[in-house]
Amino acid sequence: MICGVQNSMPSTASQLVGPCPRPAVLVSEDHDDVLAAISLLLKNNGFEIEPVKSPAETLAAVRRRSFDAVLLDLNYSRDTTSGVEGLELISQLQALDSGMPIIVMTAWGTIELAVEAMHRGASDFVQKPWENARMLEVLRGQMQKANERRQTRLSERMELEEAAQIQKALLPARASAAAGLTISAATHAVRNVSGDYYDVIPLDQHRSAICIADVMGKGMGAALLMSNLQATVRLLAPQIDEPQELCSRLNRSISSNGMPGRFITFFYGIIDVRTMKITYTNAGHNWPVLAHADGACDRLRTDDAVLGTFWNWTYRQSEVDLRSGDRLALFTDGITECADASGNEFGEEQLCRLISDNVHFPAAVLEQLAMSAVQTHSRGSFADDATLVVAAIK
């Protein structure tokens, strides 16, 4: 038999595929005659065997190489009846390789001991004296299940990585904006994909829309809702001049989707570099920081509801004058709520101070300074998705 191929294939194809590797089984048993009998049985049935006689040797072998399965005695010379030593060994093996099947065996087996072994992470149970057919059936069955689990995890990981690449491609690699406005952004996902969203959408020669959002939750569900939000915003932005109307349309769309508990905080503003104004609506998002060249610092605050809570909510908008040299910072709560080892959050006050103290820097430099400060504070450990967008007005 050729690996995955029937014998009826031409010999040239067989040579290309090559033989299947022999499944590697670690056999841990302290009685020489039992160890010899099991080793002979398994070798004669196509398994590669590594025999060991103690818990210490078992752990050393698993640290040294990987195995397709472990056949594990529960009773050793230090404790020949209770199985405690073997149960402890199961937990230690699980810590080293949680995906490796562990089949336990003991001559003193009881239902209680078998149940406890399964609770510790054993895959199946064989009682001495064993039936050869039963032992082979258990080994092959558990290795097949483990292989299927590995393939499933690999497939899921590849899908998540692909989703992360797609999501990254959806975010603006270079935030193009109207002349007189430069924008820099950074985002950090706790998992492969993120529920954070930001965008910059040029509307005409003088106006650019800038937005940021945070979907409640993390992972794939939040990422899917985020991508739907992004598509809707990009569709509506060129058609709707009023931020309050755009937010109302978004809110009705999200509320109608029937996803309970899935809410979105959202800030949407239109920066006009000709009139030097920003018109915005803030749907429950963190208030952005607007720092001026003279050191003053304002917050773009409103009290509107997050998207997806009330279908008929009437959103409002505000307008703020901009000055040459202003810096606008939009952020999600993953930035300000990241904590140090003592649980102290970075905080919005510290972010405001940092933006104000460095207001003279270009957008890219200021964004990098802020992200570096956040990562230093939390030692790179984020509890939530974190996004920062910095806009500089010339």
More confident residue, 128 or 369: 369
Residue 180 confidence (pLDDT) above 50: yes
Which residues face 202 on adjacent strands?
208
pLDDT at 279 over 60: yes
Strands 264-272 and 207-215: antiparallel
Q: How far is residue 71's CA from residue 29's CA, in Å, rounded to a whole number?
A: 8
CB 334, CB 196: distance < 8 Å:
yes
Nearest C-alpha neighbor of 101 from the set 70, 126, 72: 70
Do residues 73 and 29 lie in contact, with contact meaning Cβ atoms separated by under 8 Å? yes
Q: Where are the alpha helices (DSSP H) in the chain?
A: 11-17, 32-43, 55-64, 84-96, 111-120, 132-170, 220-236, 243-255, 333-336, 348-357, 363-378
Alpha carbon distance 95, 154 (integer Å): 20
272: left (phi over 0), alpha (psi -120 to 50) or beta: beta
* Lowest model confidence (mean pLDDT) among 43-52, 74-83, 240-249, 314-323: 74-83
Q: What is the pLDDT of residue 81?
A: 54
Q: Which pLDDT does position 78 carry in this prediction?
A: 54
Average pLDDT value for residue range 264-286: 96
d(CA 236, CA 242): 11
pLDDT at 3: 42
Whole-number mean pLDDT of the chain?
84
CA distance 241 to 270: 8
Q: Tell me the two tokens of residue 350.
A: 């510290």
* Mean pLDDT value across residues 136-154: 86
> pLDDT class for 260, splitting at 50, 70, 90?
low
pLDDT cut 90: percent of the chain above it: 53
**Cα 389 from Cα 214, distance rounded (Å):** 13
Query: Quick one: how far is CA 99 from the chain centroid?
Result: 20
The stretch 61-77 carries a mean pLDDT of 87
- On the question of pLDDT at 7 being above 80, the answer is no
Share of the chain above pLDDT 70, in %: 82
State both tokens at 185: 């952004």
For residue 4, is pLDDT > 60?
Answer: no
Name all domains of the chain by residue range, CATH numbers in brackets.
Answer: 11-158 (3.40.50.2300), 171-393 (3.60.40.10)
Strand partners, 52: 28
Mean pLDDT for the stretch of residues 325-347: 94
Write out pLDDT tens, residues 156-179. 666 666 555 655 656 665 556 667
Residue-level pLDDT at 289: 97
Predicted pLDDT of residue 185: 92
Instruction: Examine the pLDDT at 9 and tell me if it is beyond 90.
Output: no
What was the pLDDT predicted at 170?
60
Name the more confident of 204 and 81.
Answer: 204
Strands 196-202 vs 207-215: parallel, antiparallel or unpaired: antiparallel
Q: What is the mean pLDDT of residues 265-294?
A: 96
Give the lowest-confidence range in 294-303, 360-369, 370-379.
294-303
Higher pLDDT, 109 or 387: 387
Between the CA of residue 103 and those of 27, 28, 49, 50, 64, what are the distances in Å?
A: 10, 10, 14, 15, 20
pLDDT of residue 82: 60
User: Which of the two residues, 227 and 239, has the higher pLDDT score?
Assistant: 239
pLDDT value at 271 more than 50 = yes
Alpha carbons 268 and 307: distance in angstroms, whole number:
12
- CA 246 to chain centroid, in Å, comes to 31
Cα distances (angstroms) measured from residue 29 to each of 50, 61, 106, 150, 365: 11, 13, 10, 27, 63
pLDDT of 2 higher than 50: no
Q: How confident is the model at residue 48 (pLDDT cuts 50, 70, 90)?
A: very high
∠ CA 364-368-370 to the nearest 5 degrees? 120
How high is the pLDDT of residue 324?
A: 94
pLDDT at 326 > cutoff 70: yes
pLDDT of residue 246: 97
Q: What is the mean pLDDT of residues 183-212?
A: 88
pLDDT above 50: residue 6: no
Nearest CA among 382, 243, 370 for reference residue 316: 243
